[in-house]
Amino acid sequence: MCGADKKRKKSIKMERIITSLLETDMYKFSMGQAIYHQFSDYKTTWSFKCRNTDVFFTKEMVDEIKRQIQLYCDLRFTEEELEYLHNIKWIKGSYVDFLRLWKARYEDFEISDDAECGLKIEARGTWLNTSMYEIPTLAIVNEVYFRMNDDYDKLLASFREKLDEKVRKVETGEYNLGAFSEFGLRRRLSAEAQELAVKELSKRKYPGSTFVGTSNVYLARKYNLVPVGTMAHEWIMCVGQGNHKHNPAYSNWYALDAWVKEYGVLNGTALTDAITTDCFLKDFQLTYATLFSGVRHDSGDPYEWGDKMVHHYEKLGLDPKTKTLLFSDSLDFEKADKLNSYFKDKIKVAFGIGTYISNDTCDEPLNIVMKTTACNGMDVAKISDDKGKGMCKNPDYVHYLNRCIKWRMENDK
């Protein structure tokens, strides 16, 4: 790591990593409000997965992760934090009142070393609770790993050096990114590193680029930025597949319908690839395409996807220049610059850039996820536009879901 051997720290007690319940991605509150109002009785199971083949979590790391999650479960929202949320125009008072009472439950977690990578995490309970655990858990796992498995000071130094270079290239106009936001909380090197990046990006003006905000609500509040985020794959998976009476090939219709019931024309960026974008477009017809302000890309070829969306809007008689393509799949500034150049005259473009901003060091970042694997006792799955990005414990259910999608694509004209 960083040109030197790994230096594992056998035992260390770190400071509290998650210091506020606002320290999560904005879409958790966007989805959370709709879950509270429409699906409060849903139960879900979440499972952690490390996709890196060369990563191992020691017993000491696992113990520290447990301790940090216990500390997270002790947090409560402050009145100042609740007031901040209530001032977001689509957040309703009834949901704020619920959050005033809300507290994470450590009893919902199962954490052990019973996994190939040395770390197993599962969370089970109400969707209202377990949905909120994903982002803080991943942030904790990342920070514990990098602080206990390497020379953190050297990693942070390389992070600062790379951050200065990328900021310089945007400042000089070498990269023109249009509107971009920081989306890196779940994959960040540390809370310190993410805040440094957000602070540096927010205090400058750029030719051809505008730093809009961050998905981290805590940092958005601290630096007076826009908290960015609408829906994640869990929304389509649970709303569309958690009701046993639903045909899962219509997951997007159920999810879009419930979203519009909650928000109307507000907070409207639809995620397209939960069960493939082609299947999504079957349901994203004139009503939803009009009501939603744009769509988010998270898998598949971004150019093919973007052209497909522009063509879809045109086919519906909608002016693509009134809509936004939000790209968020494994971006760096160079990729965003090229996508912006290609699409900027066809449609509005925005970028949510994660790991490249929050964990770009001389070492490889962790590729870790925590996904919904069951809802109401039933398997759920994502069939994205990229092979390998899905996660489901039951291959029979994946086969069933693929068959449903195939039947719909062939017969639902």
Q: What would be the CATH architecture of the domain defined by 160-358?
A: Alpha-Beta Barrel (3.20)
Residue pLDDT, tens place only, 102-114: 999 999 999 999 9
Residue pLDDT, tens place only, 68-82: 999 999 999 999 999
Cβ-based neighbours of 410, under 8 Å, separated by 6 or more: none
User: Which CATH fold topology does 26-150+370-377 show?
Assistant: nicotinate phosphoribosyltransferase (3.20.140)
d(CA 274, CA 235): 9
Cβ contact 21:96 at 8 Å:
no
Note whether 26-150+370-377 and 160-358 share their fold. Answer: yes
* Cβ neighbours around 322 below 10 Å, total: 12
Tracing tokens 């879009």 back to the chain, one arrives at: 256
Q: What is the pLDDT of residue 3?
A: 52
Residue pLDDT, tens place only, 332-391: 999 999 999 999 999 999 999 999 999 999 999 999 999 999 999 999 999 988 876 777
- The b/e string for 169-188 (b: 16+ C-beta within 10 A; e otherwise) is bbeeeebbbbbbbbbbbbbb
Based on the number of CB atoms within 10 Å of its own CB, is 233 exposed (0-12), middle (13-18) or buried (19 or more)?
buried
Angle between helices 26-38 and 93-101 (to 10 degrees): 100
- Low-confidence spans in the chain with pLDDT less than 50: 4
Q: What is the pLDDT of residue 304?
A: 98
Task: Estimate to the nearest angstrom the gap between the alpha carbon of 145 and the chain centroid.
Answer: 20
Q: What is the pLDDT of residue 10?
A: 54
Q: What is the pLDDT of residue 7?
A: 54
d(CA 253, CA 250): 5
Q: Is the dihedral of CA 153, 156, 160, 162 positive or negative?
A: positive
Domain boundaries, the chain: 26-150+370-377, 160-358
d(CA 370, CA 186): 10
Tokens of 284: 């994203």
* Cβ neighbours around 298 below 10 Å, total: 24
Task: Estimate to the nearest angstrom the gap between the alpha carbon of 113 and the chain centroid.
Answer: 25
Cβ contact 133:104 at 8 Å:
yes
Cα(first)–Cα(last) distance of the chain, in Å? Answer: 54
* Confidence (pTM): 0.95
